[in-house]
Structure 1
Amino acid sequence: MMERGVIDRFEGEMAIIEIGGITKDFPRASLPHGIKAGDAVILEDGEIRLDSRETARKKQEIQQLMDELFE
């Protein structure tokens, strides 16, 4: 089963991922190298991978909101 989530934060060697409004802990070592808080991920078959398209979309959406706020 495929799930989508967002890296909420890191606590030591654990990554906290929000999936459908619920946070779950995963070993930081199970994430792709270079992933950071705020990145969107896909969890499937015990593997976690970066969802670069969704990450870029969310960053663009946030930038647009910031631009509107500071106009």
Structure 2
Amino acid sequence: MELAVLEGFEGSYAIIEIDGQTRDIERRLVEPKAKEGDVLKWDGAKWMVDPEATSERSDRMKKLMDELWED
């Protein structure tokens, strides 16, 4: 299963990151409720939000930020 992170939107395109490389894809190929920072999975027809992977990514990012700002 292919996973990506939604970087944002520009007009009719969504910018996603897959394995460190960004790609512009048609916005219609992304689930409408998706927002910046969500982890997406390809279901064969559309990029869908993966709530569990998004939560895990968010927790990892928060932990990294907390470690960075520790005294």
- TM-score normalised by the shorter chain: which range applies? 0.7 to 0.9
Structure 2: 5+ residue stretches without partners:
none
Deviates more, 1:4-13 or 1:24-33: 24-33
Percent of pairs with identical residues = 37
> What TM-score does the superposition give when structure 1 sets the normalisation length?
0.80
Displacement after TM superposition at 1:21 (Å): 2.2
Point out where structure 1 has 5 or more consecutive residues left out of the alignment: none
Indicate the SS of the match to 2:2.
strand
Q: Which residue of 2 aligns with 1:11?
A: 10
In the superposition, the TM-score normalised over structure 2's length comes to 0.80
Partner of 2:36: 37
Runs of 4+ in 1 over 3 A off after TM superposition: none
- Please state which structure has a larger fraction of its residues in strand: 1
RMSD: 1.5
